[in-house]
Amino acid sequence: MLDWNKIKDKTSQFISDAGQKIRQYTPESFSKEKKFVNSLVISMALMTMADKKASTEEVVAAIDLIKDIDEIKDLNMTTDAIELYELHIEELSKVIDNPTKWILTEAKLLSELSKMQAYPEYPPMIEALVNHIANVDGHLDETEAQMQKKILVAISK
């Protein structure tokens, strides 16, 4: 006998997973503004998780920044950007205890950031926001400083 509730639950999960994977991928056809939003969100997620834990202060600051950035508002992407930030935080959280998976996830996200090299107007904004997130909890430890450097290398020519 078929259990329709299980089938509906499984279908909902597949749809949710597919939606997350689609939001994570940044097609080349995206406008430079959407690529900027994607890179900004990735940068904030990487900085939030640089020390392999998400502090409340960093998460609140990142979400507040997403809500306040005019480029995100103008594109009506505030909700999408927040969901994408949460998705990246969840992804990074899942691989904290596995050094190999952490490096692979970090490398994938840094690779996405390298798309900003084509748009010299955006890296200074990303750098300023990364600095803000890095210092929002009152201290900058070595892992956060290293992540800042990785992000800056990825977005710079």
One digit per residue, the tens of pLDDT, for the chain of length 157 reads: 555 566 556 555 655 555 554 444 455 556 888 888 999 999 999 999 999 988 888 899 999 999 998 888 888 999 999 999 999 999 999 999 999 999 999 999 999 999 999 999 889 999 988 888 888 877 788 998 999 999 999 998 7
Two structure tokens written together for 20: 């997350």
* Dist CA 130 CA 115 (whole Å): 17
Fold of 32-155: TerB-like (1.10.3680)
For the chain, the domains span 32-155
Residue 58 neighbours by CB distance under 10 Å? 25
pLDDT value, residue 138 = 77
pLDDT value, residue 132 = 85
The CB-side HSE value for 52 (13 A sphere, CA atoms) comes to 12
In the DSSP assignment, the letter for residue 104 is: H
Nearest to 34 by CA among 26, 46, 42, 24: 26
pLDDT value, residue 9 = 63
pTM of the model: 0.78
* Dist CA 76 CA 74 (whole Å): 5
Contact 13, 100 (CB under 8 A): no
